[in-house]
Structure 1
Amino acid sequence: MKKTVAAFIFLLSIVCAFSQSPVWLNPLPTGQGISDIAFFDENHAIMCGTNGTVLTSVDGGNNWQEQNTGDFSDFAEIAIAGSSVAYILADNFMLKTTDYGNSFSSIATLPSGFTYKGINMYSEDEGYALRYNASLAQPYELGYTSDGGLNWTWTPFPSDVKKVYTICFSDKLHGTGFIGKSSYIYLVFTDDGGNTWQTTSYSWETVSNPIIRYSNSGNFYAAYSTYYAQSYETHILKSTNQGQTWTDIYGPQGGDGNLLSDFKILGDDLLFMAAVPVNKKKNSLTPGNSLLYSTDGGITWTPGSFAGNINPGAPTGLGLKNMQEAFLSSYGPDENYQFFRTFSIGYFEPFSEHNFTGNITDLSFGSSKGYLFITDGTETLTRVSNDGGNTWTAQPQTAEGMAFRGVFTSDNYGYLCTFSADSDPISWIYKTNNGAQSWSRIKTNTPGTPLMFEPFGPDTVIILTSSPSNPDVNKMERSADGGTTWAQVNVTTETVYAADFIDGMHGCLFGGATQGKIWRTFDGGNTWDDFIFLTGPFTQGMVLSPYLALASTLHEGVNKILKINLLELSANVIFTAPADHNIIDFRFSDENNGYVITSKNSKRFLYKTTNSGQDWTLLGVYNNIN
């Protein structure tokens, strides 16, 4: 092999702008987490959630349109304040809309150290907000606005208040709240705009997720969960005199096993409680038992039900349109977000087909068909779309193993590489010529985990299996007759993390033990040239042309993507990940146009460039896309 050492040159940095987020195909209306849903009227609705998600509807919730707010913060709460006015709460700022959510302005940005804990607008311009700053002697402050949130007057709570859980006002003077004093939590009320708070006869040692709602007929409702006798019990109270006295309208003694998640009212008749079952050992709960509703103001309560006995998981947001129609978002038991609606009160149906069982590990789109490869850990199922990804049909035959990569070289002709989840994995290769209706295995029991699998046209296929911890098992094989026969290809025994070919002859291996290293072939792997770069090892790579490649590396504590010219032996930085971000994946369709996914904790950030990395646009933030 020919060996060359190249210098490393830093030239470009990342410039981020905001752009319209990509459109969700499945699930609908979104795959983001939804925290609140609210209706202006029978037609206009709005909901908000994680990663800057805001969606609006103009047809009563039949269709939802994503709105670009210019921010990717998590939104927690919606306050409807008028016929077309709403406020959306983030940690340290608010969004305001005056046109049903078609446009937004950012208002009431808090100073550093403060976070919002709640908002309550009782008219278009007047209302209260709750904020918190742990560094202050009294961390909780009550804010009042009379000009639609442009200006706020903040007043600290009395010094004996240890914690403010939630507040709700009916007008400028009258409000209620859950407030912690000493070792107890009290249900309190004020009749002087929050200057003083008086306790009621209700107090607890512990309270979870308290919520207060105010009806348009002048009544307060307070919902909360408390822990009693080794079980959670949820209660709902009602006050007809501005919070001075309360009546218990729901609260099974001994605990109902539910931890309150959300509580919404529609006038004084329709009350909806969503909760998370957390004590199934004591109370045998069906999914519907965690969703209760009353149509007579709380005199009687009925469990909700779900089509097909679907388990909704943990409710995250609830919205009431009218006495018959409600909307529910939840975090399902398979860790996917779900969205439901009712046409008949209490009976929830999935909003759309969603939550493919198992993990989507790869996808491939041809000119008129798309293919999804879904694994449950032991076998792979293929779903096919004929309408650009809007609907998917499961194919009858499965393939053994977890999907590594599936590639269709035409609409019906494709290959699939799978592998086992054993400590000593093996790989299999399958082929179809009928659009995945059936698969034939063309290669079995190849040792090692696949690092690269590339079909080129109908006949040429290359597979590389490797183990960075045991490079001696590096193995590359090639077929030129559609998998009928296979020939082993010469390959390095050094550490390899990734590989890519642009055709059956030109390709690169990416790796290195302590420095970045690339092996390049022009003849399908018969001979290789290798190049060493003064960086960290290359963990991912992509070949754009015989002399141009992209590679990711951790260099000097920062994750970067390099454009590497193998003719001039130069390497330029085209992407620098933000602090504490890892690079999950990147793909370029040509030298100029590409995408990068980075991660920070559970968040995934999708970037795009159209000028070879000189500028990058942040398209969206998501949870756990890979």
Structure 2
Amino acid sequence: MKKMFTLFFLLLFVNGYSQSFTWQWLNPKPHGNAMRSVNVIAPNTVIAFGAAGTVQKSTNNGTTWSVKNVDTLGREFRAAHFFNATTGFVCGSSGLLMKTVDGGETFTYVTSGTTNLLYDIEFVDANVGYASGSSGTMIKTTDGGATWSNLTTGTTLAIYGLSAPAPDVVYFGTASSPSVFRKSTDGGATWTTVTPSGLTQSIWGVHFINTTTGWIATQNGGRVYATTDGGTTWTNSITDGLVVPNAVYFTNATTGYVTNNNNGKVFVTTDAGATWTFGDGTTEPQYAVVSSGSDVFSVGRSGTTTKSTDGGTTYTLMGNAVTITQIRKIKFINATLGIGTAGSTTTGDSLGFLIKTTDGGNTWNQLPYNFKNIVYSLATPTPTTWYVGRGRNAIFKTTDAGATFVEQTQPTTGTHNFLDISFADENNGYAVTSTGGVIKTTDGGTTWTNANTPFGTTSVSAAYVFSPNKVIAVAQSAKAFMTTNGGTSWEALTTNIPGNFFTVNFYDENFGVIAGFNSPSPVASKTTDGGATWTALTLPGDFDGNSIWGIGFRNTNTFWLGGINGAIYYTTDGGTSWTSSKPVTGNTLYSFAIVGDEMWLSGTQGTILKGYSSPFIPVNMVSFNASINGNEVNLSWKTATETNNKGFDVERNDGQSWSKIAFVTGNGTTTEANTYSYLDKPESKGLIKYRLKQIDFDGTYEYSDIVEVNVGAPVKFDLAQNYPNPFNPVTTIKYSLASKTSVELKIYNILGKEVARIVNEVQDAGNYSIEFNASKFASGVYFYELNAGTFNSKKKMILIK
């Protein structure tokens, strides 16, 4: 009987967020959110927490990671404590406190009793736990986290770190002004100050392994302080390169680790902190560290995760990124060809470059030209002719799609930044600067001249060029101007919004939006007559604090706004009402690119996200799944309701490109549930992707999310009997892996002693066949054992010579 493997993909509906809408991280991978906490909760199981409610988990010791955002408000996680492989607490911004009882698969909210940011959390046992936060906050539970009460700490300084080695013994350290370090021996009822002499700077990390022995990581010249008598006396060490230690973790009285807030170095000591050495797998600051045996994991900025397998001597960066610098502009010329701008803002010669994709953003490459400062702006009047504006006053041009660049001669002087470049066609373009300048070209960049500028010295953020003569440019200090004569004269626009304007974009010659920030709220205004008149848009209150830097249009009804703290909002009624997209990052988002249904977003820390320009799939699809039966793939999907549904194109991608393989007729408009299916017989084997293109009768369409199947892959873990058996001296051992995992294949003699290890590596899902040559072994009974993740199987074989 054939066995069936089924992969289910559910489209869940979450109140307050766009239905059926997901974001995909294209760079960095697996994500780019800052991670603040890391825990080893079981053998091979590592879980980390960070910005935007991010949970990152591996069940194969870091080989692969799953990533999800679990806080509906996108708040930042700062610390976590796990009792065992299943139960743990995590805390963070605005008093956020959540609990999991299934190893991080799901979380529930816990009332913390505070709205202050919670920096650290630690449980002494299953009942007693403490959490600390801003404004001197300390909360305590004695019933396993069900309820929490406030403790009086005697300080209003932020408490960055705490350690509770016993139910009644707890230590904490604060921010500077100056910093204080305190101890309680009565469960937080009273406190004694035990600050090391001379310590005035912030205490970032605290770790005690018992009631008397502990360490604190401080900003005080990079010093790590140690005590063995409960804080009565202290010793300290300072290490070159350890500028700002921000997390400390000891496995015993002698071996410990400290991370560095200024770079990716992770320091290790084996003499209780008297001396330190370091290893590094990244240049990004690392915020937390944990060890398990000889394995050491650290996490930090830009989603970086590093791993050491030799106790901290060397580290490997897990995941990948084409860049972790800010990407100020992203443009897609078509659905596959995209370009992004990147680089550093330092004052000296530094790296500035472009990144390019030819497969819709799945992979990116850094182009070789070094512009020596961050690239702020990009114009692509043709697929091969591009203009680049960088920091420190330079414009470059390529006519071969980025293979070579030539710096343009232009009239401005000084060290200002070219914040935007926009072209009407191949010859006519404008560039604006951070010191109020506007320059133009009418001959494809051969010559540039100064246009009259109405901005004075105010930084001009963006410009939209309609034609060789018509341009709208916006600046800080609520300045917005339009020229219709090529920059000879400018008309001030009445936008009806105050503040600093950071962006302007148009869907067509009539419909456009200007947006920015007027503390404490974002601002936006729209025009429907090409800029002649403007109407202020009312943005939602939970958008407060988030300035707007990016605008993306699907049409005049549906468009998107993006800004700092990862804020993403959309409207489907031309700006009358707004909905928040489910938080996916805490990084600032600068730029949108939209081609048809596909949409890309770029921002700080190398962020590139991909989604769909429509937040809703017109058909209320409740499930889409793919199942394998032999070499056949059965696709089935269900809808709850349908509106104007002509039907579904079934599309397949076998690793090269998407192609239509079938059309399934829909049910028009109906409130009844419907089930659809299609049987595919792909010629190729391996990983195959499927998606649905739902088409309305008016021709509009939306894509479903993607399901994947592995045709020809085994459906279970299995170890077969060797053949031949008995054998002399060679036999074949076959086994199957249902998923990628760490694999060991060992040979034992009759006494149970391991005599050979013929496989010891991570392997992909598939069927494997290994020859075992026993020419060096004596006749007798042997056993072979397969360990693959949690799967274990052992079989007997007989060698007869």
The TM-score with structure 1 as length reference comes to 0.70
Q: In 2 relative to 1, CA 197–610 (structure 1 residues): closer, same or farther, beyond 3 Å?
A: same
The answer (yes or no) to whether the contact 2:256–2:272 under 8 Å persists in 1 is no
Answer yes or no: is the 8 Å Cα contact 1:16–1:615 preserved in 2. no
Q: How far apart are residue 292 of structure 1 and its match?
A: 0.8
- Aligned residue number for residue 222 of structure 1: 214
- 1:151 aligned partner: 147
Q: Identify the residue that residue 319 of structure 2 maps to in structure 1.
A: 352
Amino acid at match of 1:49: G
Task: Please show how residues 89-128 of structure 1 align to structure 2 within 5 Å.
Answer: 89-91=91-93, 92-111=95-114, 116=118, 118-124=120-126, 126-128=127-129
**Distance change in 2, residues 1:198/1:573 (3 Å):** closer
Distance in structure 1 (CA, Å) of the matches to 2:239 and 2:573: 64
Q: CA deviation at 1:96?
A: 0.8
Q: Distance in 1 between matches of 2:218 and 2:58?
A: 36
Q: Distance in 2 between matches of 1:256 and 1:227?
A: 13
- How many angstroms apart in 2 are the aligned matches of 1:567 and 1:299? 66
The superposition leaves residues 536-575 of structure 1 with CA deviations (integer Å, 9 ceiling, x where unpaired) of 5894422222332222377899642222121896533335
Correspondence 1:415 to 2:386: yes
What one-letter code is carried by the residue in structure 2 that aligns with 1:417?
V
Of 269, 279, 282 in structure 2, the residue corresponding to residue 305 of structure 1 is 279
Query: Is the contact made by 1:161 and 1:179 (CA closer than 8 Å) also made in structure 2?
Result: no
Could you tell me which amino acid in structure 2 is paired with residue 58 of structure 1?
A: T
- The alignment-based identity, stated in percent, is 13
Written as runs of structure 1 = structure 2, the 5 A alignment for 1:533-544 is 533=494, 535=496, 539=501, 540-544=503-507
What is the Cα-based RMSD across aligned positions, in Å? 5.0
Q: Contact 2:473–2:480 at 8 Å: present in 1 too?
A: yes
Residue number in structure 2 paired with 1:598 = 563
Native 8 Å contact 2:517 2:546 kept in 1: no
Does structure 2 retain, via aligned residues, the 8 Å contact 1:370–1:384? yes
The higher relative CO (CA closer than 8 Å, separation ≥ 6) is in 1
2:147 partner letter: N
Give the drift of 1:41.
Answer: 1.0
**C-alpha spacing 1:152/1:48, structure 2 compared with 1 (3 Å):** same
User: Is residue 328 of structure 1 aligned with residue 298 of structure 2?
Assistant: yes
Contact 2:569 2:578 (8 Å CA) reproduced: no
User: In the TM superposition, what is the alpha-carbon distance from 1:75 to its structure 2 partner?
Assistant: 2.0
AA matched with 1:292: V
Change (3 A) 1:455 1:63: farther
What corresponds to 1:562 in structure 2?
525
Shift of 1:591: 1.6
The one of 570, 578, 581 aligned to 1:608: 570
Q: Distance in 1 between matches of 2:279 and 2:509?
A: 60
Corresponding position of 2:743: none
CA distance in 1, matches of 2:190, 2:492: 74
Is 1:168–1:176's contact at 8 Å kept on the other side of the alignment? yes
Amino acid of the residue matched to residue 533 of structure 1?
A: T
CA contact 2:216–2:226 (8 Å) conserved in 1: yes
Q: Deviations over 1:395-419 (max 9, x none)?
A: 3344587634334567x62312335
Distance 1:356 1:452, change over 3 A: closer
Which consecutive unaligned segments of at least 5 residues does structure 1 have? 1-14, 279-285
Q: Distance in 2 between matches of 1:299 and 1:420?
A: 44
Instruction: Please give the secondary structure, in 1, of the residue aligned with 2:527.
Output: strand
Relative to 1, partners in 2 of residues 1:451 and 1:463: Cα closer, same or farther, differing over 3 Å?
Answer: farther
* Mapped partners of 1:468, 1:162: distance in 2: 38
**Match of residue 500 from structure 1:** 464
Instruction: Look up the match of 1:28.
Output: 29
**How far has the Cα of 1:132 moved from its partner?**
6.9
Select between 541-550 and 74-83 the one with higher mean Cα deviation. 541-550
Cα offsets for 1:425-446 (capped at 9, x unmatched): 4x5341233x4222356x5325
Distance in structure 2 (CA, Å) of the matches to 1:517 and 1:179: 49
Residue aligning to 2:339 = 371
Deviation at 1:360, TM superposition (A): 3.5
Cα offset for 1:189? Answer: 6.4
CA contact (8 A) 1:510 1:541 kept: yes
**Structure 1 residue 107 displacement after superposition:** 0.5
Gaps spanning 5+ residues in structure 2: where? Answer: 1-14, 591-801
Q: Give the number of equivalent residue pairs.
A: 550
Query: Aligned in 2, Cα 1:359/1:89: closer, same or farther, shift over 3 Å?
Result: closer
Q: Distance in 2 between matches of 1:253 and 1:528?
A: 62
Give the stretch that moved more between structures: 65-74 or 614-623: 614-623
Q: Shift in Å at residue 78 of structure 1?
A: 0.4
> Is 1:587 equivalent to 2:548 in the alignment?
no
- Where in structure 2 are the equivalents of 1:71-470 lying within 5 Å? 71-91=73-93, 92-111=95-114, 116=118, 118-124=120-126, 126-130=127-131, 143-146=140-143, 148-153=144-149, 156=152, 168-169=163-164, 173-178=167-172, 188=183, 190=185, 204=197, 206=199, 209=203, 213=207, 221-225=213-217, 233-237=223-227, 252=237, 260-266=245-251, 268=252, 271-276=255-260, 291-294=267-270, 298=272, 303-306=277-280, 312=283, 314-320=285-291, 322-330=292-300, 338-346=304-312, 347-354=314-321, 356=323, 360-365=327-332, 366-376=334-344, 380-398=352-370, 403-408=375-380, 413-418=384-389, 421=392, 425=393, 428-433=395-400, 435-439=401-405, 444-447=409-412, 453-455=421-423, 460-466=426-432
Contact between 1:325 and 1:342, CA under 8 Å: does it hold in 2? yes
Aligned partner letter, 1:273:
Y
Contact 1:415 1:455 in 2 (8 A): no
Alignment-mate amino acid for residue 395 of structure 2: W
C-alpha displacement at 1:106, in angstroms? 1.2
Where 2:147 maps in the other structure, the secondary structure is: coil
Confirm or deny that 1:478 pairs with 2:462: no
Aligned-partner Cα distance in 2 for 1:582–1:160: 33
Amino acid at match of 1:588: F
Cα deviations across residues 101-152 of structure 1 (Å, max 9, x unaligned)?
222111123246x66464322455x122245796xxxx76652231x42223
Structure 1 residues 528 and 351: CA distance shift in structure 2, 3 A: same
Deviation, structure 1 residue 233: 3.9
Asked whether the equivalents of residues 80 and 120 of structure 2 are also in contact (C-alpha less than 8 Å), the reply is: no
Q: Distance in 1 between matches of 2:366 and 2:179?
A: 55
